[in-house]
Structure 1
Amino acid sequence: MSKSNLTGTYHMVSQDNMDGYLAALDVNFALRKVVCMLRPTKQIQHDPSNGHMAIKTVTTFKNFDMDFYLGKEFTEDLGAVDGRKCQTTIDWQGEKLVCDQKGEKEGRGWTHWLEGNQLHLELRAEGVVAKQVFKKAE
């Protein structure tokens, strides 16, 4: 069974509980308010031949880049988010791209999946879940 091709540019159309998620990460109140107002764009590149992926989240405030190989653990610097580092592994679970981030916060990670032309993102930390939905650019 082939995996979803996430390659493309996606613009955020909705989000839910981002403030709660950021609070679970101990992000200060002022920064949480700024982040909750942002409407990020995701740029995803995926090379299925070698399992390499790059996910760039672009905002008017700050950009965040991830560059990784599926199934291979790496040290992720989350300084742009909450100042922490963690051991991260990202791989497919069925049709969903699942990230597990081991570090100071329990149950931290995220899941991406496609439904038609919409990219869904579920963010998790300390039992708190936030959701974002992005629409693929034409």
Structure 2
Amino acid sequence: MAPINLDGIWKNVKNENLDNFLKALNLNFAVRKMAASQSPVLEISQKGDVFKIITKGLKTFETNFTVGQEYTDRNPLNDKEPSTYLPMWDGDKLRTENKSHPDAIHFVRELIDGQMVQTQTVGTGDKAVVCKRIFAKK
């Protein structure tokens, strides 16, 4: 049984350190401002360890995976180069590691006070840049 249930529709209500995170991805000013002005919505369908996540924002895309199994999906920074990811439970957090590009974006999703907190990290060690995106359930 999964340690947390992320099933539902989640709307982005707050961001922490998003601009610095986007700068670390080498995105230009205009793209960063457009991204910061968006409030993406995540439609998460969870059946135990099986997930379907539809992200609606600047673009809409769908991700399907099973926790504990590697999967290949789009690279958010380069649509022409897919990445391999490994989602895993880390206590009551869902951690998704990018296995293709260790310095690329990694995600941790957890529930804190009824909100879903998505911590995104790019880079490693002292060069890592972390951003938090907080989502409220609709």
TM-score (norm 2): 0.86
| Alpha-carbon distance change, 94 to 124 in structure 1, aligned in 2, over 3 angstroms | same
**Corresponding residue for residue 131 of structure 2:** 130
Give the superposition deviation at 1:117: 2.0
2: CA distance between counterparts of 1:29 and 1:85? 25
Deviates more, 1:25-34 or 1:64-73: 25-34
Structure 1: 5+ residue stretches without partners:
none
Tell me how large the CA RMSD over aligned residues is. 1.8
**Corresponding residue for residue 50 of structure 2:** 52
Q: How many residues align?
A: 132
Aligned counterpart in structure 1 of residue 105 of structure 2, from 98, 105, 108:
108
Aligned counterpart in structure 1 of residue 95 of structure 2, from 90, 93, 98:
98
Identity across the alignment (%)? 28
Q: Detail structure 1 runs of 4+ shifted over 4 Å in the superposition.
A: none
Structure 2: 5+ residue stretches without partners:
none
The one-character-per-residue Cα deviations of 1:44-90 (angstroms, maximum 9, x if unpaired) are: 11111xx210111112x311321111111122212xx3114322001
TM-score (norm 1): 0.86
Q: AA paired with 1:101?
A: N
Q: AA paired with 1:103?
A: S
Give the superposition deviation at 1:135: 0.8
